[in-house]
Copies of this chain bind each other. A is one copy, B any other.
Amino acid sequence: MQVIEKTKNNEVAGSVAARPGGRSARIQAAIFKAVEELRQAPDGPDMTVPAIAARAGVTPSTIYRRWGSLNELLAQVAAKNLRPDAPPEATGDWRKDLEIWLHQFVEEMSSEPGRAMLREVLGGEREENAGQCSAYTRQQLDAILDRAGDGSQAPTTDKLLDGVIAPVMYRILFTSAAPDHDYACALLQRTLEA
């Protein structure tokens, strides 16, 4: 049994800016990969710092030194996974783009893995992880609204965050009834007409 060497320092370990390809980046990649592999374990994940460290071939103290806690490590992995894979689909009609994007967003976030990622990204000590998640959403919305010409009466990104994204997220996080497509569409229509 490995002894858990937990840092005595109660300050949260900062995320060291990892030079791509450097030693620090390689260690981070190995640890993130170990988290993903443990998640796929057939008997359910044994997601502990010693188990992650053993699989990544590092000591537990490496993980505690860099992330401070298991929750913070999982939050950073979740923030990375919440990064969108591609820019929003472009059909030539920004309203349609918004609908398509929202449909995918609601489907992904309210899925079981989506809910788990949201809980994890909110569970870390550093609020920047959740901020990163919201920044991705904002960037996607900005990209769609940029396609609307002048005089199109497109809402601002803030109005969409307040009127559509926030209620969807609130239902996902705080209620057992996952928001469905009709509910999200109704919020979008109300916000576009306001």
Q: Which residues of chain A have a CB within 8 Å of any CB of chain B?
A: 6, 10, 43-46, 48, 71, 115, 119, 122-123, 127-128, 130-131, 133-134, 161-163, 165-167, 169-171, 173-176, 187, 190, 194
In the bound complex, CA of A6 to CA of B128 (Å): 31
Partner of A122, one of B6, B43, B46, B122: B122
A166 — which chain B residues lie within 8 A by C-beta? 166-167, 169-171
- Within the complex, the shortest CB–CB distance from A136 to chain B, in Å, comes to 10
Q: A162-B167, A163-B163 are in contact. List 4 more A-B contacts (CB 8 A).
A: A71-B123, A119-B123, A128-B176, A166-B166
List 10 tightest A-B contacts by C-beta distance, closest first: A166-B170, A10-B44, A134-B174, A162-B167, A166-B166, A123-B123, A166-B167, A130-B174, A122-B122, A119-B122
With both chains docked as a complex, state the minimum distance between the C-beta of A6 and any C-beta of chain B, in angstroms: 8
On whether the beta carbons of A43 and B10 are closer than 8 Å, the reply is yes
Q: Which residues of B contact A71 (CB under 8 A)?
A: 71, 123
Enumerate chain B residues within 8 angstroms of A175, measured Cβ to Cβ: 131, 134
A-B contact pairs, 22 of them (CB 8 A): A6-B48, A10-B44, A10-B46, A71-B123, A119-B122, A119-B123, A122-B123, A122-B173, A130-B174, A131-B174, A134-B170, A134-B174, A134-B175, A161-B170, A162-B170, A162-B187, A163-B163, A165-B170, A166-B166, A166-B170, A167-B167, A170-B170
Residues of B within 8 Å of A133, CB to CB, are 174
